[in-house]
Amino acid sequence: MSIPFYQVDAFTDQPFAGNPAGVCLLPGPKGDAWMQNVAAEMNLPETAFLLKQEDGYSLRWFAPQSEVPLCGHATLASAYVLWATGQLAASVEARFHTKSGLLTAVKNGDWIELNFPAEKATPCVAPVFLPEALGCDFVYVGRNRMDYLVEVASEEELKSLAPDMNLLMKVDTRGVIVTCRAKTKPYDFMSRFFCPLLGVPEDPVTGSSHCCLAPYWQQKLGKDEFAAFQASPRGGVLRVRVESGGRVAISGQAVVVLKAELFS
């Protein structure tokens, strides 16, 4: 039996920008090793595996080298595929049961809004190798359950980073978020995300990192809603809002660039 597979560019309205994700609509349960092999074969930043349940979908995310606990762009891509293929009506909320709890998505015109848990960082001492690995000075260093968070002084410094990926492989987290206040309008802040341990040296646009960035910039800027830009070579645009109850709303657009079938 063939299995439908889609490649979606998320957090963009143009193909070949934003962050590519695989979306696999499973007809029945599959083993972890099979899902990891598919993710490695596709070699995308993340591949999402969806399985219909009574109240929504089971959703798991695999990078080329390992499963991850939370992924924004592949969740956005999954919701987009469900609506685009008629699996869900446009007026119906997408509900995903994941290892990070229940995640939901709603369609708002051409935008999709995800409801994710906030992942606040707390100040910490940077690993001794981290300044050399990133090649910059830090304004702030923090950490949450998944990543380090580093603030740098300027947009120019953020965009010019050329990290030593071999050194970054030494971190004991999923990856490193680097951020700064934006000078370019209409954005409030910018970021980049490096995660070589997952087989993705720089992630093009990272929804889950904004679960950390939103509460951080809420404290810094004194507001709840933000326009954000992830300044990777592909680039991506996000709307972010801090919600009550420890949640973050992350909005983006998406476009399908490939439809295929798996025969394995």
- Could you report the per-residue pLDDT of 64-88, keeping only the tens digit for each? 999 999 999 999 999 999 999 999 9
CB 112 within 8 A of CB 252: yes
Q: Which of 142, 124, 131, 161 is nearest to 213 (CA)?
A: 142
Task: Find the mean pLDDT for residues 17-21.
Answer: 97
DSSP class of 18 = S
CB 7 within 8 A of CB 257: yes
Residue 1 pLDDT > 90? no
CB 173 within 8 A of CB 143: yes
Residue 50 pLDDT > 80? yes
pLDDT of residue 52: 97
Residue 186 to residue 204: CA distance in whole angstroms: 20
Residue 100 pLDDT > 80? yes
pLDDT of residue 104: 97
Global pTM reads: 0.93
In this prediction, what percent of the chain has a pLDDT beyond 70? Answer: 100
pLDDT of residue 264: 78
AA identity, residue 40: A
46 carries an active-site annotation: yes
Task: Find the mean pLDDT for residues 154-158.
Answer: 98
pLDDT of residue 147: 98
Task: Find the mean pLDDT for residues 220-243.
Answer: 97
- Identified catalytic residue from 41, 46, 67, 157: 46
163-175 tens-digit pLDDT: 999 999 999 999 9
Q: Which of 149, 53, 67, 143 is nearest to 100 (CA)?
A: 67
187-223 tens-digit pLDDT: 999 999 999 999 999 999 999 999 999 999 999 999 9
In this prediction, what percent of the chain has a pLDDT beyond 90? Answer: 99
Q: Which of 81, 72, 76 is nearest to 52 (CA)?
A: 81
